[in-house]
Chains A and B, each alone.
Chain A
């Protein structure tokens, strides 16, 4: 039992120890305000990472999410500021477009048996390109609803606030846990990531699941785009460049195996928080270059992959005793 959750436990321990170290160095660190900001600042990343977790669990990958976020911010800005749409309608349109975009990629992957890496790489270029076609400028969004939505928050003593993006992210994670572990769709995802052919022979609707999981990832990237748009108050084609790699990192640090079939949504949440924690630490320190974030994340990623490899070796070593070498 413990073995199965070991990656998750280790990741969580890293988060707790990291947080305690930060708190020891900076007395203000351990406050609701810092924690609230941590959640708000990383909301779009967390929401995207949920979709990525599902895709990776199913044995795939989605490189298009960063570009979809960027495109969504541009689409919202153009619809609201230039076409005069109400933000709610623009939000709905953005979600529909991003979900449809993901579904289309899933369909291509399934029907033509194409590697997800290539298909979503193409998707990445297309989404990024579509953003530039709409506009190459950074368009600020000045609709009053943006101000209202940015003010929505649960407030705590001492200046802590749980903003709307943070609440959205927490809700998405909660729903994702239920989806992964208490629905047939979730079981089918794990099945698909375990072995596609076996899953098919066991009656898993492979095509439907593939299309759904990329649609879900696309839709969540769209939602993350909305959050990003609220957060920055602007639409820009180059927004969220490289976020697909940050989300993959969060998923892997969270203990999900890149080859699919093993991992937990909760781990991804911890992975996102670890990344956020490092960034916050560097902000607090003030003297460190922000590129240290990348270096520390890179080192962590490396360590976690080694750790997984080691765990897997221990596992298979145990199982191997019964089989002939």
Chain B
């Protein structure tokens, strides 16, 4: 875990004064970055800080405007991912960039298959593939199509490919975003093994826990500039967040006084009893009252998203009953839910949310227009009013409302998506991972926004894997484990420690790097949902 001293040897990778501008916007402004042999170096920053640009410049996707990049003292300027790879810089992107239809071995050796007399020697290729995967503890059928393995396995195969192509520098761009706890642990083991072999790893992530779990050193960027480089061991978490935000973190953002609005005395807006679906989520009881935030916490795959989908009618429940305003309802499909005043911000904004080619304005009015019916188009003026209002309200950073939304950063896309549903003035808004892939700054803004919405009487059901976030704004938290609602925490009980304790009530089921839970899970109600 000890990083070599910066002065001991010429660094593996030295970036000095790197600058890159796009259409007059300075994405990188004189950034320095140093990576040593055998270290895991976290590259952190808000969205728009310049991480992606730095990585893309390093891997040949972009060409730098100014500055120096030296690999082991030799200056390099790769012009393509391929060339960067040949210069010993390997990259593994967030979405696995391998081919699910090819075999594992073909994925590992595509473009450099062993040949005999000009023909691909499949036997040799498969043999070598098995050998390559041994250090990663993967004893799998290398002739099987890659798509049959889990994302984590694919991720490790991607790393194996990059490393086997003689990578000295390995860039991992948010590799853990879609992995569960055990998978992250496996990935970390692989990273430590590679580190021991002297490979330098650049690790980009939004999970601060993971930074402290594996990284030796941290470089923080903000608005295209270097904020600083620190040893992980010498940088307390609060200081790190302050570096990323560029200001002292307001304590308030993490400990919100929940107003009296939305007390338990109010009649529930929506009430679910014994609601569930076979092979999706076990029957649960759930009440959602106006003006309250209900959090759904649990590990990936614990049934959080499935619960949200049932509530919105995206999946049909096969047991239990639901009532809205005291009247029984059948949530057959999202249309029914929308008519009842529900809204849903999905987790995968690329696939289920934004329409990339449409403008910010068009994306924002989409749900409102759909509810009103396409035969009654909103007047252009009204559209612009709505769009401008939400752009201002949510601080969506875009030059104007007519910009295609795909050109915005992830955080701003997420905010536009939120605006889409807010424009319909829903009574119950379901947010699935509202802050996924979003920087700390936008994070705090979205949290503040959530509070404001609830003060206005809207109810929120929020799914999030960020426990601190959930604890910060939820009045009640339903904890899920293995597709079952196992606990419900309320008011004072809603703390990260208690949530973790509830999740981790079974051994081996807690998030890696999460704080050690207390011996018991006080305040947690009995498994199987709230008492009737």
- Chain A residues at the B interface, C-beta cutoff of 8 Å: 1, 4, 178, 181-184, 186-188, 190-191, 193-195, 197-204, 261-262, 315, 318-319, 322-325
Contacts and interface: CB of A to CB of B under 8 A. Distances in A.
A195 B99 CA distance: 6
A325 B85 contact: no
A203 B82 contact: yes
Contacts of A195: 99-100
Contact of A325 (B101, B122, B143, B305): B305
A44 to B, nearest CB: 28
A315 B148 contact: yes
B101 A261 contact: yes
B300 interface: yes
Given A178-B119, A203-B82, A322-B151, A184 B97 contact: no
Interface string B76-95: 00000110010000000100
Nearest to B113: A184
Contacts of A197: 97
A110 B204 CA distance: 33
Contacts of A315: 147-148
B145 interface: yes
B111 interface: yes
A47 to B, nearest CB: 22
Nearest to B147: A319
B119 A324 contact: no
A193 B110 CA distance: 14
27 contacts: A182-B119, A183-B118, A184-B115, A184-B120, A187-B110, A188-B110, A190-B102, A191-B106, A191-B110, A193-B101, A195-B100, A197-B97, A200-B81, A201-B93, A202-B107, A202-B110, A202-B161, A204-B110, A261-B99, A318-B148, A319-B147, A319-B148, A322-B150, A322-B151, A324-B301, A325-B280, A325-B306
B97 A202 contact: yes
Interface in B302-351: 305-306, 309
B145 A4 contact: yes
Contacts of B81: 200-201, 203
Nearest to A319: B148
Which of A191, A197, A202 is the most central at the interface, judged by chain B CB atoms within 10 Å of its CB? A202
Interface residues of B, number: 36
A199 B99 contact: yes
A323 B150 contact: yes
Contacts of B99: 190-191, 194-195, 198-199, 202, 261
Closest 4 CB pairs of A and B: A194-B99, A261-B101, A322-B150, A194-B101
Main secondary structure of the interface of A (DSSP, over half): helix
A197 B93 CA distance: 12
Contacts of A183: 118-120
Interface string B99-132: 1111000110011010100111010000000000
A204 B110 CA distance: 8
Interface of B: 81-82, 85, 93, 97-102, 106-107, 110-111, 113, 115, 118-120, 122, 143, 145, 147-151, 161, 178, 180, 280, 300-301, 305-306, 309
A188 B93 CA distance: 21
Contacts of B101: 190, 193-194, 261-262
Contacts of B151: 322-323
B111 A324 contact: no
A187 B85 contact: no
Nearest to A199: B99
Which of A183, A191, A197 is the most central at the interface, judged by chain B CB atoms within 10 Å of its CB? A191
Contacts of B178: 323
A193 B106 CA distance: 14
Contacts of A4: 145
A182 B122 contact: yes
B20 to A, nearest CB: 20
A126 to B, nearest CB: 30
B102 A324 contact: no
B160 to A, nearest CB: 13
A197 B143 CA distance: 23
B82 A324 contact: no
Contacts of B161: 202
A201 B97 contact: yes
Nearest to B183: A322
B305 A202 contact: no
Nearest to B281: A325
Contacts of B148: 315, 318-319
A203 B86 CA distance: 10
B296 to A, nearest CB: 13
Given A190-B99, A202-B110, A324-B305, 8 more contacts: A182-B122, A184-B115, A194-B102, A202-B111, A319-B148, A319-B149, A323-B178, A324-B180
B113 A187 contact: yes
Contacts of A204: 110-111
Contacts of A318: 148
A203 B107 CA distance: 11
Contacts of B149: 319
A195 B101 CA distance: 9
Contact of B97 (A186, A193, A198): A198
A194 B100 contact: yes
Nearest to B91: A201
A203 B119 contact: no
Which of A1, A178, A194 is the most central at the interface, judged by chain B CB atoms within 10 Å of its CB? A194
Nearest to A315: B148
Contacts of A261: 99, 101
Which of A187, A193, A318 is the most central at the interface, judged by chain B CB atoms within 10 Å of its CB? A187
B308 to A, nearest CB: 11
B120 A187 contact: yes
Contacts of A190: 99, 101-102, 106
Nearest to A192: B99
A260 B10 CA distance: 47
